[in-house]
Amino acid sequence: MQEVGQSLGVRYVLEGSVRKSSNRVRITAQLIDAATGGHLWAERFDRDLTDIFAVQDDVAQQIVAALAVNLSKDDKEQMVLDRTDNVEAYDCYLRGREAWWRSKKASNTEAQQLLQRAIELDPKFASAYAWLATSHMIDYIAGWSVSPALSLERADLAATRSLELDAGDACGHWARSFIDLYMRRHDEATSEAGRAIALNPNFALAHATLGEALHYSGRPEEALVSLSRAVALNPYNPDILLHFQAQANFQLGRYEVAIDLLKQRLKGNPDTDVSHVLLAACYGHLGRHEEARADWEQVMRINPNYSLEQRRSVLPYKKPADFDLVVGGLRKAHAVS
């Protein structure tokens, strides 16, 4: 446990389990001081599943008490995240988020269906609207949508509705930042990401989106700081963060660093066309033409319909020259005409 605490950069570790039988749930939890390995607190909760939200609040409050932390009224409100009183809606929401993380066309469609169901069950579920907004945005960015304009509109409406329902929900501000960025509202995107982080400083995705916004705004050094924070907060971060870090390093001309990051991503996710494109561009700038052409062939294998012009129209570079740097690397390697 001391090794875990050191690796994650944390003082305390919460360990436990959840077991379900019929309509009953048993939660065991123990709080450990990672510096000494000593147990500070332990408890077992046996509850009816219909009371699961009360159990969540109870566990959180007891941990706070064990740490002897004094919380303000606002702090206590921030502990109650992703709130709905409908258990089925919450279940759909959690499963929708899990599908969202898989970042595939089919899983993104599944995420939309589950999040839409969560909203049907609880029309005031602000966080569900936020994640639904970003799933529509991913369809738009990835070119998975039959109607990109409709996906963009749906994303915008869902993010707006999320904040109408709960302006204090960090998820809503994160979604608003994500949509604003790809609508090329760079200042608004960085501002909204900042609001999400102020509401929930441990929200890794908000730090990631801030890093993405800073990158597309032409501020790669600042982007790397935010992206590093996102990785530190979520050691199981999605591999797309490796691509974002590679983009920022590419923007700074650090092609060898970018190559290492892209290879790490492709090792676990070999069928991502965008990382093969950036890798080919890195090789092109370094004069490694054969490797560049090999990666471009992988792009065509994975996505025969890949279009640089589609990417130019979607990726929200504030400075067109930043995207031209990618195209220039591919042209140097004669990967594209």
Q: What CA–CA distance (Å, rounded) separates 310 from 333?
A: 21
More confident site: 41 or 311: 311
Whose tokens are 């650090």? That residue is 254
Position 78 scores a pLDDT of: 58
Position 225 scores a pLDDT of: 97
- The answer to whether the CB of 237 falls within 8 A of the CB of 273 is no
3-state SS class at 53 = helix
Query: Which of the residue ranges 1-15, 148-162, 204-218, 273-287 would you say has the lowest mean pLDDT?
Result: 1-15
- % pLDDT > 90, the chain: 68
Instruction: Work out the mean pLDDT of the chain and round it to a whole number.
Output: 91
More confident site: 240 or 77: 240
pLDDT (tens digit per residue) in 90-104:
999 999 999 998 888
Strand ordering across the sheet containing 24-33:
12-21, 24-33, 39-48
Position 69 scores a pLDDT of: 63
Tell me what the mean pLDDT of segment 179-186 comes to. 97
- Within the chain, residue ranges assigned H as helices are 2-8, 52-66, 73-79, 87-101, 105-121, 126-142, 148-165, 170-182, 186-199, 204-216, 220-233, 240-251, 255-268, 273-285, 289-302, 308-314, 320-332
For 23, phi and psi rounded to 5 degrees?
A: -105, 20
For the purposes of burial, counting CB atoms within 10 Å of the CB of 154, is it exposed (0-12), middle (13-18) or buried (19 or more)?
A: buried
Position 47 scores a pLDDT of: 83
Angle CA(233)–CA(237)–CA(240) in degrees, nearest 5?
Answer: 130
pTM here is 0.85
3-state SS class at 86 = coil
Position 12 scores a pLDDT of: 86
pLDDT (tens digit per residue) in 256-304:
999 999 999 999 999 999 999 999 999 999 999 999 999 999 999 999 9
Q: What CA–CA distance (Å, rounded) separates 26 from 17?
A: 8
Q: Provide the pLDDT confidence category of residue 189 given band limits of 50, 70 and 90.
A: very high
Q: Provide the pLDDT confidence category of residue 79 given band limits of 50, 70 and 90.
A: low
Tell me what the mean pLDDT of segment 176-181 comes to. 98
Residue 240 pLDDT > 70:
yes
Select from 161, 92, 94, 98 the least CA-distant residue to 121: 92
Residue 4 pLDDT > 90:
no
Can you say whether the dihedral through the CA atoms of 275, 276, 277, 280 is positive or negative? positive
Tell me what the mean pLDDT of segment 159-165 comes to. 97
pLDDT (tens digit per residue) in 116-161:
999 999 999 999 999 999 999 999 998 899 999 999 999 999 999 9
Position 229 scores a pLDDT of: 94
Position 73 scores a pLDDT of: 59
